[in-house]
Amino acid sequence: MTVVKDAPKPFKERRKQPLQNAAVVAIENYLDDLDGQAPGNLYDMMIGEVERALFHAVMERTRGNQSKAAAILGINRSTLRKKLRLYSLID
């Protein structure tokens, strides 16, 4: 498994709030950082970023065990492997 390089380690939010709240804050921060520039292809970019982070975190949590990761994600192992290759998380 490849480790995400240069990825900042964010603080861990410990309050019991929906994951959606963190996503809203992150998206608002991203849009603010654009400083008035219109984003292009925002949907695909956000889905890719979140999906990559999800797969990376689950693979870390399962210590690279693809069977466990697929079960946690609710997908089959071949789909998991396809996504891991897509995001360069495996060779």
Q: Tally the domains of the chain.
A: 1
- pLDDT tens, 31-86? 999 998 999 999 999 999 999 999 999 999 999 999 999 999 999 999 999 999 99
Looking up residue 87, the CATH number of its domain turns out to be: 1.10.10.60
DSSP string, 1-30: -PPPTT---PPPP-S---HHHHHHHHHHHH
* Domain span at 61: 40-91
Domain assignment present for 75: yes
Q: What is the pLDDT of residues 4-17, one digit of tens each?
A: 555 555 656 667 78
Residue 26, domain member (yes or no): no
Assess if residue 31 is contained within a domain: no
Residue 56's pLDDT is what?
A: 97
Classify residue 17: in a domain, yes or no: no
The pTM of this model reads: 0.75
